[in-house]
Amino acid sequence: MKKILCLVASYGAVIAGLLFCTACSDREKYIALNRGSLKNETWLEVEKNETVKICIDSKVQVWNTALDSEILGESCLKVRVPTLIGVSKINVKFSDTESALKINLAVGMKYLDFKNEEVLLGFDYMHEYIDNERLAKITGMFLVDKYPVTNCEFLQLMWDEIPSELHDEKEKNWIKRKKLSVRKEGCDTHDSATNIVYLYQALKYANKRSIREGLKPYYTFSEETFSKNEFEYDKTISEGQYIISYRDFTHHDETRIKVSVDSSSDGYRLPYYDEWMMLARGGDKKHKAPWGDSATFKDVQKYAKFNDKTEYYEKINSSITGPVGQLQPNGYGLYDIFGLVNELVLLEKPQKFRKYQILSRPNPNRPRYANTNCKRKNNCPSYLKGGGADDNWQNISYGYYSYGSIGGFRLIRNIGNNAKWTEVKSDKE
């Protein structure tokens, strides 16, 4: 039930520089806002479990929020941020206005407002690569998970789908986690990243994130399944559709299912390949990786978690990762976009790279059932990007990718579903 609190309001936008923010401790933040800079809808970035004190330079008549909150004086509100990633809302009304303004708390996410932002797509460093570098301009508002989805986040949202008893060895990691966890318990900001999620599960998780916030799900799934006959795939898919492995907590056979995207939805989804490339670069248009072109292992470790040779050969359980958000972020404030876990991304078109050589080496620590989506000549809906902790860091770049339908992931959301991409023509054209 929403709380209606009469007294104070404040508002601002982190990205636009409309606020002053001080972290009083690891769990407390102070945000000062200027009323004159407030818009009808403004975004503030916060972390899970934080206590945030929001103050504005004007007296507030009404606060309206479902959050655990407390009014402090005439112009401040202290709120307890939820323990799960998502968007929480605060409505603010002043005595001299008829309508309320909205403050959106982006919990564990980056709010990126691109206005004709020039970005570099593609990658030219390897001759096998067929996605040539090119400049583009992007306009649109995005929410992007600051960190890869964690085990706790995935477990809590998918709780009811995880069986209680073991039926298959591939279920044991999630069943074990469920037995050691409590339903609806809070998730720590720096919990371990998940890396044993099938593509189908990641898409279902995205839909559940959307539904939890009252958004229209981005993906729909067919009721029928398909055999492994590759010709059956090619004859049934059209633009905006994918044939993926029908694998989750209980289905582990070789059947496939059709996924369709709803282009009218601005709900949560996996990033598309070009979007991931843009986000991974974080504004970088000069280097092949965020650590530069001639980095040492020590340099790389500032941005990405890769195991050294000893860790690589001694590691036994490939489902064990590490905490998120421990290293430096990239230029867009995104953490662990390289290393730690491979990230699932969707291709804009299922056939985007299927005729070309993959740019990765076999990984003995990766589960043997990983390559289930990209059989030879089949439509390939997704790739793994960024490299995992067990990959050779010297092979990793913006262009690195590998085949697979199981890994880690992060979600994005195009607010308003109105992003515009424009190609930038070179001087040679």
Looking up residue 398, the CATH number of its domain turns out to be 3.90.1580.10
Question: Do 218 and 267 belong to one domain?
Answer: yes
Q: Using CA of residue 167, residue 170, residue 171, residue 176, what is the dihedral sign?
A: positive
> Could you read off the pLDDT of 370-410 as tens digits, one per residue?
344 455 445 678 999 999 999 999 999 999 988 877 899 99
Residue 7 lies in a domain: no
What pLDDT shows up at residue 370?
36
- Do the Cβ atoms of 401 and 360 come closer than 8 Å? yes
Most confident of 40-54, 347-361, 415-429: 40-54
Answer whether residue 145 shows pLDDT above 60: yes
Neighbours of 160 (CB within 10 A): 7
The alpha carbon of 311 is separated from its chain's Cα centroid by a whole number of angstroms, namely 27
What pLDDT shows up at residue 318?
60
Question: Do 51 and 117 belong to one domain?
Answer: no
Question: Do 120 and 92 belong to one domain?
Answer: no
- In DSSP terms, 91 is beta-bridged to 64, 102
Question: Do 201 and 60 belong to one domain?
Answer: no
> Could you read off the pLDDT of 204-259 as tens digits, one per residue?
999 999 999 999 999 999 988 877 665 555 666 788 899 888 888 887 777 889 99
- Determine the 3-state secondary structure of 134 from DSSP: strand
Q: What is the DSSP string of 309-366?
A: HHHHHH---TT---BSS-S---TTS---SSBSS-EEEE-SSTTTTTTS--S----TTS
Question: Do 279 and 398 belong to one domain?
Answer: yes
Residue 120 lies in a domain: yes
Residue 219 structure tokens: 């993906």
Question: Do 256 and 396 belong to one domain?
Answer: yes
CATH number, domain of 65, equals 2.60.40.1550
| Boundary (domain end) residue, out of 107, 124, 142 | 107
Residue 319 structure tokens: 């489902």
- Do the Cβ atoms of 205 and 197 come closer than 8 Å? yes
Mean of the per-residue pLDDT values for the chain?
Answer: 84
Residue 65 lies in a domain: yes
Residue 19 lies in a domain: no
- Do the Cβ atoms of 195 and 278 come closer than 8 Å? no
Residue 4 lies in a domain: no
In the chain, the number of structural domains is 2
Residue 5 lies in a domain: no
| Boundary (domain end) residue, out of 58, 74, 107 | 107
| Boundary (domain end) residue, out of 107, 125, 145 | 107
Q: What are phi and psi of 283, to 5 degrees?
A: 95, -10
> Could you read off the pLDDT of 300-310 as tens digits, one per residue?
999 999 998 65
Residue 9 lies in a domain: no
Question: Do 396 and 256 belong to one domain?
Answer: yes
pTM of structure:
0.88
Structural domain including 74 reads: 29-107
- Do the Cβ atoms of 389 and 365 come closer than 8 Å? no
Question: Do 58 and 196 belong to one domain?
Answer: no
Question: Do 117 and 72 belong to one domain?
Answer: no
Instruction: Please count the CA atoms within 13 angstroms of the CA of 140 that sit on its side-chain side.
Output: 20
- Do the Cβ atoms of 108 and 116 come closer than 8 Å? no
Amino acid occupying residue 251 = H
Question: Do 94 and 225 belong to one domain?
Answer: no
- Bridge pairing between strands 28-33 and 51-56: parallel
> Could you read off the pLDDT of 260-276 as tens digits, one per residue?
999 999 999 999 999 99
DSSP state of 292: -
- Cβ neighbours of residue 90 closer than 8 Å, sequence gap 6 or more: 54, 63, 64, 65, 67, 77, 79, 102, 103, 104, 105
Answer whether residue 81 shows pLDDT above 60: yes
Residue 272 lies in a domain: yes
Question: Do 299 and 167 belong to one domain?
Answer: yes
135 sits in the region (left: phi over 0; alpha: psi -120 to 50; else beta) called: beta
- Determine the 3-state secondary structure of 122 from DSSP: coil
- Cβ neighbours of residue 118 closer than 8 Å, sequence gap 6 or more: 135, 136, 137, 285, 424
Question: Do 235 and 196 belong to one domain?
Answer: yes
Share of the chain above pLDDT 70, in %: 79
